[in-house]
Amino acid sequence: MTESKTDSAPDRPPDRLSNDPNSPYYDAAVLDRDVGVRFKGAEKKNVAEYCVSEGWIKVEAGKTKDRHGNPLLIKLTGTVEPYFKDGHKGSNVNSTDSGRS
């Protein structure tokens, strides 16, 4: 029964993912594969959480902390495209650079 969940894991990242261990959307196994996020076509390296189906990401607001000591997050809306950076099939990050002379 858990095999069907692991079969889809190599293809693409989940619909929603967080890097906060207290979040229900935290998944250490997926984060170990080095997930990248393109937001509105631009590579974002400071994404704390994303949701593809709802079209938003959460990024840290500088060095500001909330009352619990966690980074303050800002929610931005737009097109979200997560991908794995580890070079498995389906990762087309390097395919666009191969055509350049």
Looking at residue 10, its pLDDT comes to 58
- The pLDDT of residue 50 is 97
As a whole number of angstroms, the distance between CA 79 and CA 91 comes to: 18
Q: What is the pTM of this model?
A: 0.73
- Given a contact cutoff of 8 angstroms between Cβ atoms, the answer to whether 57 and 80 are in contact is yes
Phi-psi region of 34 (alpha: psi -120 to 50; beta: other; left: phi over 0): left
In Å, how far from its chain's centre is CA 87?
Answer: 15
Which residues of the chain register pLDDT less than 50? 1-9, 89-101
Tokens 């000591």, residue located: 69
